[in-house]
Structure 1
Amino acid sequence: MGVGPIHRPAEGGAVADTNRGVVYQRPGEVTVEDLDFPKLELTEQNGRKLQHGVILKVLATNICGSDQHMVRGRTTAPAGLTLGHEITGEVIELGRDVEFIKRGDLVSVPFNIACGRCRNCKERHTGVCENVNRDRPGAAYGYVDMGGWHGGQARYAVVPYADFNLLKFPADRDTVMAKLQDLAMLSDIFPTGYHGACTAGVTTGSTVYVAGAGPVGLACATACLLLGAAVVIVGDMNARRLDQARGFGCETIDLAEHADIPEQLDQILGVPEVDAAVDCVGFEARGHGPDGSAGEQPATVLNTLMDITRAAGRLGIPGLYVTGDPGAPDENAKIGQLGLRIGLGWAKSQVLTTGQCPVMTYNRQLMMAILHDRVQIARNVNATVIPLDQAPEAYAEFDLGAASKYVLDPHAVPATPN
């Protein structure tokens, strides 16, 4: 992934370059469009000035399963939304009030947008900042109902409250660029997977079941191993993704073949339960087994996890659940009301932790694990680098179950046709 030249006018000010990004058009369709060059203001909030912000040249920006929910039409995302909340870049312009971040810094951007000033931010609940979304706590880049902030699947992007939000890479530029595919996972999926593992209580010697072998599930399985789990078992219906999980030491259960998860756990562990479980699937969960039960069953993962987790165990739930799902299989699910067996969880004294990962809680230590070769997260999630203009094809392949984590390189030089 190369870093092209930065062009500035002789007297400073905005960068004299064009912007281009990935835009949601309608269910099943995204396009790559020319965009306005970003300004340090939020036009969706009456031109609110962002003197505390910076403009980044985006070096890597990833396609996320959460983006895919929007592209499938499973949210109320509006046409014209620039997508993307996983951003790694170089600082090229500074707002007047930025003190500690400098031009040329290479940085990771937590997908949570946080002010650093409100009660929740001060308590490190940065996923539910009170000041960055007029409608409810919490905001993110390029996501429906998350504050109107422009997405980062683009050549350039704005980050507000830069001194608070940005994680500066301490290594030299050559080291950062050599590890950029790994470091690109710090904006979301690696901390999110780690959050799922931590909230599930994973520790040395734990047995863990991870529901879902998509990028977040594979990142969670990686985190479980990093935390010292004895056995990590990943369940999915996608054989290629299960192959990926086995490739770095996980046990697997093919849910397209086996509906009885406790029986499979018993074969692996000698008991039909685990110490901890993590839901990395979310609201588009499907039924298990070869008997035609593979239709959508939004509560099936949560109910299964309560069933297979030991009494007094913990469940991490970083998988996305929404309050509005126009494509849901029933009227209750359309408003996020699911048929949970909460009585089972209560009877077993289990702890369930939900919500966005507060990325800032974890990203610095995970960065150090990457820089010092303690983990190879890009390899484990099969990071696949493509030019920005190939994003529509990548979205289509991801929707079909590609066993890849697509990383967009917005400044890649297009290949010369033969």
Structure 2
Amino acid sequence: MAGNRGVVYQGKGIVEVKDIDYPDLVLREGPGVPKSNVGRKCEHGVVLKVITTNICGSDQHMVRGRTTAPEGLVLGHEITGEVVEVGRDVEFVKKGDIASVPFNIACGRCVMCREQKTHICLNVNPERPGGAYGYVDMGGWVGGQSEYVMVPYADFQLLVFPDRDQAMEKILDLTMLSDIFPTGYHGAVSAGVKTGSTVYVAGAGPVGLAAAHSAQLLGASVVIVGDMQEERLKQAESFGCETVNLAMHDNLGEQIEQILGEPIVDCSIDAVGFEASGHGEGAEEQPAVVLNTIMDVTKAGGSLGIPGLYVTEDPGAADEDAKTGSLKVRFGQGWAKAHTFVTGQTPAMLYNRDLMKAILSGRANIAKAVNATVIGLDDAPQGYSDFDKGASKKFIIDPHGSLK
């Protein structure tokens, strides 16, 4: 049997590449696995040889110690791979298929899955609706920043690419289908972006850049991206976005007015989440600042897409309320302007097939937009460190050297 190695969370600020168990078609006892999920048989699953697996900003929240993630958790929910083992109950997926794995784990059987709300599947996580690989409070499913990973409910979940050679040619784009491209796209759709829209995107990390590119695909006339780091803003400018450096300016409306001639936009997207910083020089963490700011600058009757992550437990929060996810949001502002808020995990399967076709046709160039950068598995700890320091890159881990 082949060995296996993976990227393991070892405590605040520490990730290491370690030997881990080779996956089989059972969810074994391990870090973060609820007792009621231990021993769960997955003959409906497959084992993948991982081709690409990406470092995500959501992973960084755990590594920074901003969640209750247990030590020993194998990280990674953005997975693309080749099927090397097929469970007894798998009917349509076969060995040798190359496929994208939606980061939401979903059974395909419950009422939420039947309504295409795969982000809140009722059967994969006994603790709460919704599951994911290698993530705190998401059912204990082993992460995919590894050489091999098990994927349950394969017939339902896997997005199999139609042509192997074409898939490998486009792999840096296709690897984004597991999470950030559907997540950014969901943010834009939720915000109501359409032909001619003016759009503000808070955050120029990979999800923010994916949201900006998605807004362009949906026909936005102007996309404005705000961030605190100049390098990230330059990346947004590289594919046609306007930008605002929020470290230099504390009044977003004034900056938008300089670009559009008025201090409001049609739609806004929060791609930052709960680790948000206040605007202007020397500003400290303000977890509700993005939500309050986008309410200020979004027109009356507009929608706010909120794919940025918010948590129920944040042990590193600056105040006691924020430690339980209670933020000082000016909800009355949103009510008065009749805003629509769309929050929660993205139902990746709702979008990934269409986005795959946009990639394969050359319409979408998501790898370029997010500056996809390939590293080896042993380089993952340095990738985490560089990403944490604000590197304007989307780090793609290549565990087997498949992309050389």
Please tell me the TM-score bracket, short chain as reference.
over 0.9
> TM-score of the superposition, structure 2-length normalised?
0.97
Q: CA deviation at 1:337?
A: 0.1
For the 8 Å contact 1:296–1:329, the answer to whether it is kept is yes
Question: Match for 1:169 among 158, 161, 164?
Answer: 161
Matched residue of 1:88: which SS?
strand
> Aligned runs of 1:88-167 on 2, under 5 Å?
88-167=80-159
In the aligned structure 2, how far is the partner of 1:345 from the partner of 1:47?
46
Greater CA deviation, 45-54 or 351-360?
A: 45-54
Q: Is the 8 A contact 2:51 2:402 kept in 1?
A: no
CA contact 1:210–1:232 (8 Å) conserved in 2? yes
Mapped contact 1:387–1:414 kept (Cα < 8 A): no
State the alpha-carbon separation in 2 of the partners of residues 223 and 413 from structure 1: 28
The answer to whether the Cα contact below 8 Å between 1:192 and 1:216 also exists between their aligned partners in 2 is yes
Choose the corresponding residue for 1:284, options 275, 278, 287. 275
Contact 2:177/2:352 (CA < 8 Å) preserved in 1? Answer: yes
2:299 alignment partner, one of 301, 307, 310: 310
Structure 1 residue aligned with 2:9: 24
Taking the aligned partners of 2:376 and 2:402, their CA distance within structure 1 comes to 8
Alignment-mate amino acid for residue 126 of structure 2 = R
Query: After the TM superposition, which parts of structure 1 deviate over 2 Å for at least 4 consecutive aligned residues?
Result: none
What root-mean-square deviation, in Å, do the aligned CA atoms of Structure 1 and Structure 2 show? 1.1
SS of corresponding position for 2:2 = coil
Question: Helix, strand or coil for the counterpart of 1:222?
Answer: helix
Q: For 2:262 and 2:38, how far apart are their aligned partners in 1? A: 58
Aligned partner of 2:201 in structure 1 is: 210
For 1:352, the equivalent position in structure 2 comes to: 341
Shift of 1:325: 0.2
2:264 is equivalent to residue 273 of structure 1: yes
**Structure 2 residue aligned with 1:383:** 372
Tell me, which stretches of 5 or more residues in structure 2 are unaligned? Answer: 30-36
- Map Cα deviations across residues 42-94 of structure 1 (whole Å, 9 max, x no partner): 11323111000000000000000000000000000000000000000001100
In the alignment, which of 17, 32, 41 is matched to residue 49 of structure 1? Answer: 41
Name the amino acid aligned to 2:247: A
Distance 2:294 2:403 in 1: 46
CA contact under 8 A between 1:199 and 1:314: conserved in structure 2? yes
Q: Residue in 1 aligned with 2:34?
A: none
Structure 1 portions without partners, runs of 5+: 1-15
Alpha-carbon distance in 2 for matches of 1:413, 1:264: 45
Equivalences, count:
397
- C-alpha distance in 1 between matches for 2:318 and 2:40: 39
Deviation at 1:413, TM superposition (A): 8.1
Alpha-carbon offset, residue 175 of structure 1: 1.1
Identity %: 67
Q: For residue 99 of structure 1, what is the amino acid of its counterpart?
A: E
Q: What code does the residue aligned with 1:37 have?
A: Y
Aligned partners of 2:305 and 2:40: how far apart in 1? Answer: 36
Q: Which residue does the alignment assign to 1:83?
A: 75
CA–CA separation in structure 1 for the residues paired with 2:130 and 2:188: 22
Aligned to 2:250: 259
Distance 2:169 2:271 in 1: 29
SS at match of 2:137: coil
Contact 1:57/1:92 (CA < 8 Å) preserved in 2? yes
Equivalents in 1 of 2:105, 2:4: separation in Å?
22
1:124-177, Cα deviation, whole Å (9 max, x unpaired): 11000000001000000000010010000000000000000000111x222111
CA distance in 1, matches of 2:355, 2:386: 29
Give the TM-score normalised by the residue count of structure 1: 0.94
Q: CA deviation at 1:414?
A: 12
CA contact (8 A) 2:270 2:305 kept: yes
* Aligned-partner Cα distance in 1 for 2:200–2:291: 12
Structure 1 distance, partners of 2:48, 2:11, is 28
Q: For residues 382-407 of structure 1, give each alpha carbon's deviation from its aligned partner in whole angstroms, at most 9, with x where no partner exists.
A: 00000001000000110000000000
| 1:397 counterpart residue number | 386
How far apart are 1:40 and its partner, in Å? 0.3
Deviations 1:216-268 (A, max 9, x none): 00000000000000000000011000000000000000001111110011110
Distance 2:267 2:403 in 1: 46
1:373 and 2:362 matched = yes
Partners of 1:265 and 1:238 in 2: CA distance: 18
SS of residue in 2 equivalent to 1:262: helix
Match of 2:181 among 190, 194, 198: 190
Partner of 1:17, secondary structure, is coil
